Amino acid sequence: RLAMVMTGKRDPRSWAAGSEAKFDFLDLKGVLDAFFADLHVEIAYEATSHPTYRPGRTARLLAGERQIGLMGELHPGVVKGFELRVDRDQPVLAADLDLEALLPLIPNFYRYDSLLTYPPVREDLALVVDVGVPAAAVESALRQSGGVLLRDVTLFDVYEGSQLPPGKKSLAYHLTFQAPNRTLTDEDVSKQRGRLLRLLEQQLGAKLRE
């Protein structure tokens, strides 16, 4: 098996404002996304529960229908049991991967796309959806609806609270648009963004967060 553990401040040596921010669930997901991308293995995340992890902060990792691991924020009882010396409000993130299930999925050969020379355009998109809609479903819909111009989708914030109606949550994504043969204009990106919003509203009832 392969285990990953992450805790502490995102950038303890930074002088910039916000440097006290601590690693959280999405930081670990970002590490796993990069790990699986390098292995050329496609993974989906699905919310689940497990006594090792905190309720509501646990996901299982799926390759097709097969579970190859778990990830999430460790339960306070587990942190205490292992006598980990962390602040009370400091999350400890962990992932546990089944190598016997993972290794056969790594391809022996894979295709590299040509390096794109035209500049990317990056935008942030915050969507309001029902709390029962998985973030993975929204990301999948974005990728499927984005066409060839949408090169990357990264979830960077999840919010549930008083600023939203009951039963709703906000999911914020970094989007990267890039064309293989030309520089994208503001109009190109605006049209693509509008198309994404229409399709996401039809498929998942998503609304742009004001």
CATH number of the domain bearing residue 167? 3.30.70.380
- For the record, the structure tokens of 57 come out as 């902060």
- In the chain, how many domains are there? 2
- What does the pLDDT look like over 147-201, one tens digit per residue? 889 999 998 888 988 899 999 999 999 999 999 899 999 999 999 999 999 999 9
Residue type, 172: A
Show the beta-strand stretches assigned E in 8-103: 44-47, 53-63, 66-74, 92-97
Q: How many CA atoms lie within 13 A of 146 on its CB side?
A: 19
The rounded distance, in Å, linking the Cα atoms of 153 and 173 is 6
CB-CB contact of 173 with 142 (8 Å): yes
Q: How many CA atoms lie within 13 A of 78 on its CB side?
A: 15
Q: Is the pLDDT of residue 123 over 80?
A: yes
Handedness of CA 23, 125, 43, 133 (dihedral sign): positive
Specify the pLDDT at position 114: 75
- What does the pLDDT look like over 47-56, one tens digit per residue? 899 999 999 8
Task: Specify whether 101 is located in the same domain as 6.
Answer: yes
Task: Specify whether 60 is located in the same domain as 137.
Answer: no
pTM: 0.72
- Which pLDDT band, with edges at 50, 70 and 90, does 127 fall under? very high
Q: What are phi and psi of 27, to 5 degrees?
A: -65, -45
The rounded distance, in Å, linking the Cα atoms of 123 and 188 is 13
Would 101 be classed as within a structural domain?
yes
CATH number at residue 88: 3.30.930.10
Task: Specify whether 15 is located in the same domain as 94.
Answer: yes
